[in-house]
């Protein structure tokens, strides 16, 4: 497809080396992204599949920037940043693309106009890219009414970077495509591309933390603003963690939360107001358990932990504890604690990892004949007054998770019941023949 679609009056093909004014950072970054997308098939497959678009080997991708559509909104001044077309030969899927970089966010009013343009020009979707974070492409950071038959997706630039990073680590068979994607990764990682992480909580963060400390009630508007910022940070955290361990880390959510972002906002706001906590679970491939993270506004701490069941083939509590301790390295044990779970309503018990090694009996000294059920391995970071600092909180949180993982989480293994063994007295087939079994009765 060398010519523009009939719905487009003008536009430029997306290029790896766009000729644009220096001030056009958004246009340059988007052009390079779209050109990489249509040049590196595995990259396109990965990102488009997240939007529900599976592309076969014969499908062709085309992209333009600075497009002007034949049918515009009432003002007629809008010029969307780009257009992406997936041509399977039998059908075409078209998406209007709008990008923001640095501190610029997608605005609801502009997005509403672009959705109207998409409908008027019979496009299938609108895709936005910015430094705003969303749980998944179909969870848009803005709540807008979209026309029927027009899909709406959002990609954070950090998600784009992370997918490129993970794909390169997995390996790409085509050397040219690997080279292009690696150069794209280098470009988008540079500050000049305008791609940024989530760096601070909103201005109301300090007010909300102070309200909790003084025993006040958290109001709905600032409380939900904090919750929404927490969700943005949780997504950034999962992407950062993914790049650190070379594996895709995702947030564990209920089906209802995945279907409707407002459900999660409401539920987390209730947790914040009633328990003064915000929490998230991160799913790590092949890990013994999810990595649980909790920001406690009352104690002003960040806790990270994982749970493992106690081994069922160990009868004594001391043997069960030793099974766990053998998994954990002896170095750098500061701040790591062991919590033991007991049957029924019996309270959990806790000691530091170093005390567990030297005086492990203290963990179950008051539990009598009870058998412990499982363990939590926990790291607690006490932030004190720094908890209320918008940037410091983010930095400490993003340090706490990989620190726990490196010192404890990556070493944990879930207990697996051993496979059954052949009994010594039944090692020969004759010993379990019908005659032998009959004689033993």
Q: Examine the pLDDT at 400 and tell me if it is beyond 90.
A: yes
CB 308, CB 414: distance < 8 Å: yes
HSE of 49, CA atoms in CB hemisphere, 13 A:
10
Nearest alpha-carbon partner for 151 in 115, 113, 98, 201: 115
Q: Read out DSSP for 235-272?
A: HHHHHHHHHHHTS--EE---HHHHH-HHHHHHHHHHHH
pLDDT tens, position by position, 138-163: 999 998 988 999 999 999 999 999 99
Residue 28: count other Cβ atoms within 10 Å of its Cβ: 23
Confidence of residue 321 (pLDDT cuts 50, 70, 90): very high
Q: Examine the pLDDT at 72 and tell me if it is beyond 70.
A: no
pTM for the whole structure = 0.88
HSE of 262, CA atoms in CB hemisphere, 13 A:
3
Q: Examine the pLDDT at 71 and tell me if it is beyond 80.
A: no
Nearest alpha-carbon partner for 108 in 145, 82, 81, 71: 145
Position 332 scores a pLDDT of: 86
Number of residues in the chain: 441
Q: Examine the pLDDT at 80 and tell me if it is beyond 60.
A: yes
Q: Examine the pLDDT at 8 and tell me if it is beyond 90.
A: no
Confidence of residue 435 (pLDDT cuts 50, 70, 90): confident
pLDDT tens, position by position, 220-245: 999 999 999 999 999 999 999 999 99
For residue 69 the two structure tokens come to 């559509």
CB 408, CB 335: distance < 8 Å: no
Position 57 scores a pLDDT of: 87
For residue 286 the two structure tokens come to 């092949």
Position 1 scores a pLDDT of: 52
pLDDT tens, position by position, 246-291: 999 999 999 999 989 999 999 999 999 999 999 999 999 999 999 9
Q: Read out DSSP for 89-130?
A: SS-EEEEEEEE--TT----HHHHHHHHHHHHHTT-SEEEEEE
Q: Report CA-CA distances (Å) from 369 to 172, 319, 364.
A: 57, 14, 9
């Amino acid at each position: 497809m060398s010519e523009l679609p009939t719905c487009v009056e003008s536009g430029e093909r997306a290029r790896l080396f766009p000729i644009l004014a220096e001030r056009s950072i958004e246009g340059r970054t988007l052009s390079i992204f779209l050109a990489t997308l249509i040049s590196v098939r595995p990259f396109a497959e990965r990102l488009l599949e997240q939007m529900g678009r599976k592309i076969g080997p014969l499908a062709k991708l085309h992209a333009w920037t600075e497009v002007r559509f034949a049918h515009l909104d009432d003002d007629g001044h809008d010029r969307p940043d780009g257009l992406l077309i997936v041509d399977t030969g039998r059908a075409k899927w078209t998406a209007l693309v709008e990008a923001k970089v640095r501190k610029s966010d997608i605005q609801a009013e502009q997005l509403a106009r672009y959705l109207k343009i998409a409908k008027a020009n019979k496009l299938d979707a609108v895709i936005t890219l910015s430094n705003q974070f969303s749980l998944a492409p179909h969870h848009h950071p803005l709540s807008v009414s979209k026309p029927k038959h027009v899909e709406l997706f959002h990609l954070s630039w950090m998600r784009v970077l992370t997918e490129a990073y993970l794909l390169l680590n997995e390996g790409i068979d085509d050397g040219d495509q690997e080279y292009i994607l690696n150069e794209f990764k280098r470009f988008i990682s540079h500050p000049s591309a305008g791609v940024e992480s989530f760096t601070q909580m909103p201005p109301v963060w300090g007010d909300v933390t102070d309200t909790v400390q003084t025993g006040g009630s958290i109001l709905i508007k600032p409380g939900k603003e904090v919750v929404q910022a927490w969700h943005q940070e949780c997504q950034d955290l999962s992407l950062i963690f993914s790049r650190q361990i070379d594996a895709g880390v995702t947030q564990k959510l209920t089906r209802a939360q995945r279907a409707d972002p407002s459900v999660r906002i409401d539920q987390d706001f209730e947790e914040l107001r009633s328990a003064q906590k915000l929490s998230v679970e991160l799913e790590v491939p092949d890990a013994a358990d999810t990595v649980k993270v909790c920001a406690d506004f009352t104690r002003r701490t960040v806790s990270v932990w994982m749970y493992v069941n106690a081994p069922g083939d160990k009868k004594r509590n001391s043997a069960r504890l030793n099974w766990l301790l053998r998994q954990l390295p002896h170095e750098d044990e500061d701040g790591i604690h062991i919590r033991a779970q007991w049957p029924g309503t019996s309270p959990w018990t806790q000691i530091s990892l170093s005390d567990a090694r030297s005086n492990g009996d203290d963990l179950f000294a008051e539990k009598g004949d009870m058998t412990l059920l499982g363990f939590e391995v926990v790291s607690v970071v006490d932030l004190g007054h720094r908890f209320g600092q918008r940037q410091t909180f983010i930095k400490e949180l993003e340090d706490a998770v990989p620190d726990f993982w490196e010192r404890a989480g990556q070493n944990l293994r879930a207990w697996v019941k051993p496979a059954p063994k052949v009994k010594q007295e039944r090692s020969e087939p004759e010993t379990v023949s019908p005659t032998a079994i009959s004689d033993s009765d």
